[in-house]
Amino acid sequence: MKTQRILVAGGGGFIGGELARVLLGRGHQVVVADIKPKNKWYQYHDKAENLQLNLEEKDACFKAAEGCDTIYNLACNMGGMGFIENNRALCMLSILINTHMLMAARQHGTKQYLYSSSACVYAAGKQTSTKVTALKEEDAYPAMPEDGYGWEKLFSERMTKHFQEDFGMNVRIVRFHNVYGPYGTWDGGREKAPAALCRKVIEAVASGKMEVNIWGDGEQTRSFMYIDDCITGLDKLMASDFSEPINLGRSELVSINRLLEMVEEIAGVKVRRTHNLSAPQGVRGRNSDNSLILEKLGWEPEIDLKTGLAKTYVWIKEQFERRARGETVIQ
């Protein structure tokens, strides 16, 4: 790829921060825009043009997108299940980000535009069993996505496609399935299950209580994709000519109870389990059908959960220990 000016919207977040790092390493001119104060960004890159902007605002999107050849729109208000179930209105306000960013991309003549969607767009009625049939892209319809966050994502997918149809924009739409890894959220309420369970085991060992609380009965199932596979998938999608929504997730289905067992194996400990049956749990089961990505890109996420989880555990343990020493860390 020739050198480009590339906007990573939401680049102060987990996926955006890693994407910006990779793009800078390839010699691109990278603009990173995020609403968070810069000292709260998960990765801060001195070589990027770093902008603290509220991308829900039209003027902010037009400023960030000016002169950009490619836009990765990863910006949204989101977190783990606890956050999205308790902040539905805030999640839906992210519709303003994609609306204004699409307008800015069209106005500035951006050559390529990626919208980051989510597996939360899938119909709830197809996710009622722990032994869920892996979800194909067409399973988003008839529509009944995750309330709040899922509806915003599905609507934004439609808007992105219509900008392509009506204005000739070159778009890509990716549905992420639970991305995890180092430099991700690991505490504070927005973290997802892999990071949350790593932190809980680390806390259990540090406190000596050796007890971990699990939301629900722990039999709910999910798949989890390591960050390196996420970046590889984005690369392959952007290099393709495929513009329909596509799953980007690993197809390795695991229960939350088994996920905790894997963390225990990595830590070399055993913990007692308690269960909070009233905590947010989301759908009963969700997995990625990778038939389409294999057909269109000749690839699917490859890094197994145990390998990625081990790297994530080590990083979170380092952050936990640094915080215990009074150092400032990003959570």
Residue 297, domain member (yes or no): no
| One domain for residues 125 and 230 | yes
Same domain, 234 and 168: yes
pLDDT at 194: 96
For the stretch 294-306, pLDDT in tens is: 999 999 999 999 9
Residue 291 counted as domain residue: no
Query: Is 47 in the same domain as 157?
Result: yes
Which residues of the chain fall short of a pLDDT of 70?
1
Q: Do 282 and 145 lie in a common domain? A: no
Do 152 and 210 sit in the same domain of this protein? no
Q: What is the rounded CA–CA span in Å between residue 137 and residue 116?
A: 14
Please count the CA atoms within 13 angstroms of the CA of 70 that sit on its side-chain side.
21
Tokens of 95: 């519709």
pLDDT, position 84: 84
* Integer Cα distance of 260 and 175 in angstroms: 25
Tell me the Ramachandran region of residue 6: left when phi exceeds 0, alpha when psi lies from -120 to 50, beta otherwise. beta
124 plus 145 within the same structural domain:
yes
CATH number at residue 172: 3.40.50.720
Do 161 and 70 lie in one domain? The reply is yes
pLDDT on residue 268: 97
On whether both 128 and 212 belong to a single domain, the answer is no
Q: Do 138 and 242 share a domain, yes or no?
A: yes
pLDDT number for residue 1? 62
**CA–CA dist 191, 215 (Å, integer):** 13
Which residue range(s) make up the domain with 79?
5-179+224-248
Helix (H, G, I), strand (E, B), or coil: what is residue 2?
Answer: coil
pLDDT in tens, 42-86: 999 999 999 999 999 999 999 999 999 999 999 998 777 788 888
Identity of residue 187: D
Residue 112 covered by a domain: yes
| Own/partner pairs, 1-5, CB within 8 angstroms, 24+ separation | 1/26, 1/28, 1/239, 3/27, 3/28, 3/29, 4/28, 4/29, 4/69, 4/70, 5/29, 5/30, 5/31, 5/67, 5/68, 5/69, 5/70
CATH of the domain at 195: 3.90.25.10
How far is 135 from 117, CA to CA, in rounded Å? 15
Neighbours of 99 (CB within 10 A): 17
Domain presence at residue 295:
no
Here the tokens at position 124 are 């709830």
| 196: in domain | yes
Query: Does the residue 150 lie in any domain?
Result: yes
Residues belonging to the active site: 149
Domain match, 162 and 264 both: no
Q: What pLDDT sits at residue 242?
A: 98
Counting the structural domains of the chain, the total is 2
Q: Do 203 and 135 belong to one domain?
A: no
Distance in angstroms (rounded) separating the CA atoms of residues 19 and 120: 22
Question: What pLDDT, on the 0 to 100 scale, is given for residue 160?
Answer: 98
Can you tell me whether residue 214 is helix, strand or coil? strand
150 and 262 in a common domain: no
Name the 3-class secondary structure at 113.
Answer: strand
Give the separation between CA 17 and CA 79, rounded to whole angstroms.
16
Are the C-beta atoms of 112 and 70 separated by less than 8 Å? yes
